[in-house]
């Protein structure tokens, strides 16, 4: 690394197949990167030469180059290093295999659709990153795949506690990720699957059904296929959720990151036509502490309401308790012996239960459903978006809500989420 005169500006030369890994830890720090010579990409998105990219607290990234490049980095360099060993060639090979399957779907009439790929593995192995790389490479080949995110802990497409799907037609923005135009979102309401297995599986089934239906009407996407990102819970019930999702989406390929045990279990349990592939994780993937995860959930909700690089201006207004119809998913468990004949206690977990508005809603997120009555199948109806209860006035029986849309709230049902957000704006 040849240093320039300004101590905060560094020129970094990367050889072919190497990557510069960096983190921004402190709230006060930022790192700005500029590609000066050659070609480079961040998780599959090509950098534009001469354009400065700024990264703020929490960023953990790698700039990879196939051909070699020179970068200019502004900011503290102590959390940066160059790695010459990366698994990018494995990931590129995966992309090439997917591309072949897409070409088959395009040219051979008996192949009805492009590949459906699920990315699995324990926590912090780079599942979201590999999904992003594969989506970006597909888009750069002129494809338009669907990205399905089943990781309720991070909630990349909407907010934590939701599963979502988007059509990807452009590479991810280096700083902001994929644009979330017209996402398909289902509300689950918890950040962990063990809170309500039945509802989670129900939503995965519904998501799979709707995504498949939509692909039928969009030939380009149907050929491009689906990339499904999953949650890092891979043992016991978590494993059963993975196999359930694989079945629901009719996956063709499962990419297993970094865990031979999981790979072997899937090879054993999946039908023969599902190709299970073991891939190495990148040495750059950073382990995230519980606290970091909580902070990034919070940051994700803040970004949902207030935007990121492009700021958003949410609305704040009061609504009367009596004007709201709030529900939650799942009734408190009853012993089987107390259930009506023919019903099991777990059936209660997919019941809609009315919630009386009051101080219990303070700081909670509420999903704005597209369902307008409990006669609809509310749980499996997708949602329009989220609001957050920022204040409860018991005397006047009103709530103050933070909403991406101006008042009034649509006359539909609201579904309570376990997820809370303290609005500090």
Reported in sequence order, the residue ranges of 121-259 that DSSP labels E, i.e. its strands, are 146-149, 162-167, 184-187, 226-229, 253-257
Tokens for 354?
A: 């009315």
Minimum CB distance to ligand ATP, residue 34 (Å)? 19
- Distance in angstroms (rounded) separating the CA atoms of residues 119 and 130: 8
Among 80, 125, 401, 415, which residue interacts with ligand ATP (rule: CB under 6 A)?
125
Partner residues linked to 228 by β-bridges: 118, 148
- 249 φ/ψ angles, rounded to the nearest 5 degrees: -85, -5
- Residues in 7-26 at the binding interface with ligand ATP, rule: CB under 6 A: 21
Partner residues linked to 403 by β-bridges: 315
Among 167, 274, 285, 324, which residue interacts with ligand ATP (rule: CB under 6 A)?
285
Residue 124 assigned as binding residue: yes
Residue 127 assigned as binding residue: yes
Among 30, 56, 70, 123, which residue interacts with ligand ATP (rule: CB under 6 A)?
123
Interaction of residue 416 with ligand ATP, rule CB under 6 A: no
Quick check: helix, strand or coil at residue 340? Answer: coil
Minimum CB distance to ligand ATP, residue 198 (Å)? 23
| Closest-CA residue to 355 (of 320, 324, 319, 323) | 324
Cα distances (Å, whole numbers) of residue 421 to 116, 314, 315, 384 = 35, 14, 16, 19
Among 127, 187, 241, 297, which residue interacts with ligand ATP (rule: CB under 6 A)?
127
Q: Are 117 and 225 in contact (CB under 8 A)?
A: yes
Minimum CB distance to ligand ATP, residue 219 (Å)? 30
Q: Are 328 and 365 in contact (CB under 8 A)?
A: no
Residue 128 assigned as binding residue: yes
Binding mask 322-341 for ligand ATP (x = CB under 6 A): --------------------
Q: Which residue has the tokens 């949902």?
A: 304
Minimum CB distance to ligand ATP, residue 129 (Å)? 3
Interaction of residue 136 with ligand ATP, rule CB under 6 A: no
Tokens for 14?
A: 């990367």
Interaction of residue 154 with ligand ATP, rule CB under 6 A: yes
Q: Are 114 and 222 in contact (CB under 8 A)?
A: yes
Minimum CB distance to ligand ATP, residue 261 (Å)? 16
Q: Which stretch binds ligand ATP (CB under 6 A): 47-55, 123-131, 359-367, 408-416?
A: 123-131
- Distance in angstroms (rounded) separating the CA atoms of residues 119 and 121: 7
Among 160, 284, 314, 357, which residue interacts with ligand ATP (rule: CB under 6 A)?
284
Interaction of residue 269 with ligand ATP, rule CB under 6 A: no
Residue 351 assigned as binding residue: no
- Residues in 34-63 at the binding interface with ligand ATP, rule: CB under 6 A: 60-62
Q: Which stretch binds ligand ATP (CB under 6 A): 172-180, 268-276, 279-287, 394-402?
A: 279-287
- Residues in 204-233 at the binding interface with ligand ATP, rule: CB under 6 A: 232
Minimum CB distance to ligand ATP, residue 277 (Å)? 16
Sign of the C-alpha dihedral, residues 162, 166, 168, 174?
Answer: negative
Residue 84 assigned as binding residue: no
Residue 19 assigned as binding residue: yes
Interaction of residue 117 with ligand ATP, rule CB under 6 A: no
User: Which conformational region is residue 140 in: left (phi greater than 0), alpha (psi within -120 to 50 degrees), or beta?
Assistant: alpha
- Distance in angstroms (rounded) separating the CA atoms of residues 279 and 255: 7
Tokens for 326?
A: 């709030």
Residue 125 assigned as binding residue: yes
Interaction of residue 241 with ligand ATP, rule CB under 6 A: no
- Residues in 62-81 at the binding interface with ligand ATP, rule: CB under 6 A: 62
Residue 139 host element (H or E): helix 127-140
Nearer to ligand ATP among residue 82 and residue 339 (C-beta): 82
Pairing of strands 383-393, 398-403: antiparallel
Q: Which long-range contacts (CB under 8 A, 24 or more apart) does 104-110 make?
A: 105/222, 105/223, 105/225, 106/223
Q: Which stretch binds ligand ATP (CB under 6 A): 46-54, 119-127, 137-145, 160-168?
A: 119-127
In the complex, the residues that contact ligand ATP under the rule CB under 6 A are 21, 60-62, 121, 123-129, 151, 154, 232, 282, 284-286
What residues are designated binding site for ATP? 19, 60, 124-129
């Amino acid at each position: 690394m040849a240093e320039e005169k300004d101590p905060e500006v560094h020129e970094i030369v990367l050889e072919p197949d190497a990557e510069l890994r960096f983190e921004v830890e402190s709230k006060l720090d930022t790192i700005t990167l500029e590609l000066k010579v050659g070609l480079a990409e961040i998780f599959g998105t090509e950098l534009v030469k001469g354009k400065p990219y700024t990264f703020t607290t929490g960023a953990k990234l790698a700039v990879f180059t196939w051909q070699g490049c020179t970068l200019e980095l502004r900011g503290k360099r102590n959390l940066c290093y160059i790695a010459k060993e990366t698994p990018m060639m494995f990931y590129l090979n995966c992309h090439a295999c997917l591309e072949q399957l897409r070409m088959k779907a395009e040219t051979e009439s008996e192949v009805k659709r492009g590949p459906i790929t699920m990315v699995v593995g324990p926590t912090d192995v780079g599942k979201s990153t590999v999904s992003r790389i594969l989506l970006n490479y597909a888009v750069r080949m002129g494809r338009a795949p669907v990205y399905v995110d089943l990781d309720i802990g991070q909630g990349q497409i909407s907010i934590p506690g939701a599963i979502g799907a988007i059509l990807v037609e452009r590479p991810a923005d280096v700083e902001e990720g994929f644009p979330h135009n017209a996402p398909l979102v289902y509300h689950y309401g918890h950040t962990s699957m063990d809170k309500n297995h039945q509802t989670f599986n129900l939503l995965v089934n519904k998501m799979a059904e709707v995504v498949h239906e939509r692909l039928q009407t969009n030939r380009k996407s149907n050929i491009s296929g689906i990339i499904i990102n999953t949650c890092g819970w891979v043992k016991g019930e978590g494993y059963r959720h993975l196999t359930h999702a694989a079945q629901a989406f009719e996956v063709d390929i499962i990419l297993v990151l970094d865990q031979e045990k999981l790979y072997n279990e899937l090879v054993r349990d999946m039908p023969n036509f599902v190709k299970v592939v073991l891939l190495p994780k990148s040495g750059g993937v950073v382990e995230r502490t519980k606290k970091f995860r909580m902070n990034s959930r919070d940051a994700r909700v803040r970004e949902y309401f207030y935007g990121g690089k492009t700021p958003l201006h949410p609305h704040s207004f009061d609504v009367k308790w009596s004007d709201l119809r709030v529900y939650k998913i799942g009734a408190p468990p009853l012993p089987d012996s107390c259930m009506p004949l023919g019903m099991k206690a777990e059936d209660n977990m997919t019941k809609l239960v009315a919630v009386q508005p009051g101080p219990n809603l303070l700081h909670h997120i509420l999903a704005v459903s597209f369902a307008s009555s409990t006669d609809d199948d509310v749980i499996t109806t997708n949602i329009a978006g989220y609001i957050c209860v920022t204040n409860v006035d018991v005397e006047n029986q009103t709530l103050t809500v933070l909403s991406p849309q101006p008042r009034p709230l649509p006359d539909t049902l609201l579904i309570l989420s376990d997820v809370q957000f303290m609005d500090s704006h």
